[in-house]
Copies of this chain bind each other. A is one copy, B any other.
């Protein structure tokens, strides 16, 4: 039976790719993905055939992968970060029914949450919640309820998609909600372009984060009650008792 590898290439598609991901890409004739992600790896695989679709064509991209595999080709579908975290792995399973002769093999990658955490220091050392601020596929009320729950229970919070051209104020709105539960000086951080050229981090307070502009290449971290700034890094202690 033919397989499609659904491969997370890590945040930048470079050294943060796993050995398993590299092996999958090397074994394939065809690599399929969103244009921007393909551009991250194209130069590393000059002998492969690359097929790209634009941002909104996710289902089309999945069908393309299944159809190539049905015809006997070895195919990888790539996602930045991890294919199973706001990536394409779920949609592949949802569409799979129409292609009974093709298997799916998900190859995990470093997702932005942990890739960016390593840049900031160690913000995710304890229980954490990952929330996307994109309301393209999720009603804002559901996002807001999750922000409130995560703040109330003192999770460290990691925000994906903090902003976009169409929803410039989402991060500000999220911070206003979090500030109902958390101190003004809660330690926060942002990382832009994780694992890519121009990687940059900032550590700040929640009050400052509220007035920070983030773009779609930024991942945002809000500390728990114990998170501190050490030497410019953002660090959450592992436990609530002394070590």
Q: Chain B residues near A59 (CB, 8 Å)? A: 243
Q: Does A67 contact B (CB under 8 A)?
A: no
For A238, give its contact among B8, B86, B122, B124 (CB under 8 Å). B86
Which of A141-149, A169-177, A206-214 is near enough to bind chain B? A141-149
Across the interface, do B94 and A230 meet the contact criterion of CB distance under 8 Å?
A: yes
Stretch at the interface among A14-22, A27-35, A45-53, A69-77: A14-22
Q: How far is the CB of A197 from chain B (nearest CB, A)?
A: 16
Also in contact, A125 and B18, with CB within 8 A (given A90-B238, A239-B136): no
* Interface residue from B84, B128, B243 paired with A130 (Cβ < 8 Å): B128
Interface of A: prevailing SS: mixed
Are A96 and B230 touching (Cβ within 8 A)?
yes
Residue in B23, B119, B238 whose CB lies within 8 Å of A91: B238
Contact present for B125 and A85 (CB under 8 Å)? yes
**Closest B-chain residue to A23, C-beta based?**
B15
One of B8, B97, B124, B233 near A93 (C-beta < 8 A): B233
Report A196-243 residues with CB < 8 Å from chain B CB. Answer: 230-231, 233, 235-241, 243
Residue A107 lies at the interface, judged by CB distance under 8 Å to chain B: yes
Residue A114 interfacial (CB < 8 Å) = yes
Given known A-B contacts A19-B22, A230-B96, A237-B94, A127 and B153 have beta carbons under 8 A apart: no
Residue of B nearest to A143 (CB): B127
Residue-wise interface mask of A (1-44) relative to B, using a CB-CB cutoff of 8 A (1 in contact, 0 not): 00000001010001111111011000000000000000000000
Q: In the assembly, what is the distance between CA of A15 and CA of B91, in Å? A: 25
Check if A184 is an interface residue, CB within 8 A of chain B: no
A164 at the interface (CB under 8 A from B): no
Nearest neighbor of A108 in chain B, beta-carbon distance: B118
Complex Cα distance, B153 from A44, in Å, reads: 42
**In the complex, the 3 A-B pairs of residues with the closest C-beta atoms, listed nearest first:** A137-B239, A149-B153, A90-B125
A interface residues with partner B (beta carbon < 8 Å):
8, 10, 14-20, 22-23, 58-59, 82-87, 89-94, 96-97, 104, 106-111, 114-115, 117-119, 121-132, 136-139, 142-143, 145-146, 148-150, 152-155, 230-231, 233, 235-241, 243
Q: List 6 A-B contacts (CB under 8 A).
A: A15-B23, A16-B19, A17-B19, A84-B114, A109-B110, A136-B239
